[in-house]
Amino acid sequence: MTFPTYRNLINGHWTPALSGKTILNLNPADHSDVVGAFPSSHAEGVALAVDGAQEAFAAWRLVPAPKRAEIILRAGNILIQNKEKHAHDMTREMGKVLAETRGDVQEAIDEAFYVAGEGRRLFGQTTPSELQNKFAMSIRMPVGVVGLITPWNFPMAIASWKLFPALVCGNTCVIKPASDTPLSTYNLVQALIDAGLPDGVVNIVCGSGPAVGTPLVEHPGVRAISFTGSSAVGSQVAQRAAATFKPVSLEMGGKNAQIVLDDANLDLAIDGALWGAFGTTGQRCTATSRILLQKGIAAHFTAEFVARARKLKVGNGLDPSVQVGPLVNAAQLEISQKYVQVALEEGARLLTGGMVLQDGPCAHGTFFEPTVFGGVTPDMRIAREEVFGPVVSLIEFDTFEQAIAIANDIDYGLSTALYTRNVNLAFTAMRDLEAGITYINGPTIGAEVHLPFGGVKHTGNGAIDFFSTWKAVYVDYSDKLQRAQIDNAD
């Protein structure tokens, strides 16, 4: 068996892990398909990468922001040229269907074009001074070396959310891609290199979270951390970063609710629920994992939704006819199995799915049936804990106010959706739903790059603002000592 071997990118040089060990990147739809071997690094590799980023920062911070933006714009155009290849690579390493991986690459392209415009919009403020012959303003400054830890479910899009804003602000970066999906990060960074990014401005270190992520968070030369992943790991990241006073941006879990009222367009609501629950095989932080149904439409919605879920074609995402790909690895498969058992023990009714798929096109990968539970109550674990798989719960309610209360009564607050024709209730939901994102008559998944993305509670916080610091600047042209708050007092 032959497959490519990749190296870490450290200060412009492709370098093997000092351990000499590698991690095999396997296609989750076909474990006999090895995408490549990637470095299994440790703290020493992180230290070298941080050293390279610190060295590069001295020059990169002085490059005018519009010039930094031009590199990002060129990278976006390079991604366009390679979109189909990168999507194919991503489906092989992550599993989601080609239509979705094309969308993942497109999101990185959109982010490149959006952030490129920010190179001429890193505005500060001018403000009156309290003293005569004195000018006051604020300007944005880069943070320094930033550590970026990215997830496997959107391996290019989320990496672009972090890399491009960090770079346009003048920072240098050390990025740790998810061990399941490093190739997409390599493809993204290669576009930047081909666009003219100087050596050392972006460094890649591959390896596990404990071996690479933890040293990156704790390294004193790293000035800020941006993390996307589980709430449990995000909590650890925040605590470790606090020891060295690093600011942290966290984008973590979700237990997202779609509310369907009696007056909703049910065909549209069912379309949205299918996409929200089973798109990316449920492996999105914004995935629809709870569907709240007003009792007047609950029976009809349930019957149609379950019937359509049963018809979804599961298989290798490289097959254009497949609608649901594999789970990314065996651990995710076990989690879906675990929550099916938990739901059954709590008294939920399994309406469809619930089984590992091991036959035919699913024989050599990590596949799980699209799964729907009915009879779920808000206090059940299946209604409160994140599964991150193709498992959705149906919960019935009487009134709109009750639906809002159920939607909010969880530890997460990322994305929500409401289906209704009542504009008054729509605006009430926008105000009262505790989430960073609220959709009206649309599914809980699908964010656009020019709007905020983040949430509340255990979901975390979410980029120009994070990757720059404010500096106050005073220019005193009075040619004498003037003391603020003293010489201007009565």
- Cβ-Cβ contacts under 8 Å for 200 (sequence gap 6 or more): 11, 12, 52, 53, 55, 56, 172
For 250, the enclosing helix (H) or strand (E) is strand 248-251
490 Cβ neighbours under 8 A, 6+ residues apart: none
DSSP state of 458: T
Sign of CA dihedral 59, 10, 115, 226: negative
Name the packing angle between helices 182-194 and 65-81 (round to 10°): 120
What's the CA gap between 318 and 69, in Å, rounded? Answer: 34
Report d(CA 398, CA 273) in Å as an integer: 20
Closest CA to 343 of 328, 354, 356: 354
Distance (Å, whole) CA 351 – CA 395: 13
Q: Which of 93, 251, 369, 396 is catalytic?
A: 251
Burial class from Cβ neighbours inside 10 Å (0-12, 13-18, 19+) for residue 295 reads: exposed
Q: Among this protein's residues, is 285 annotated catalytic?
A: yes
3-state SS, residue 300: helix
CA-based end-to-end distance of the chain: 84
Length of the chain: 490
Pick the catalytic residue from 169, 206, 285, 362: 285
107 catalytically annotated: no
List residues with catalytic annotation: 251, 285
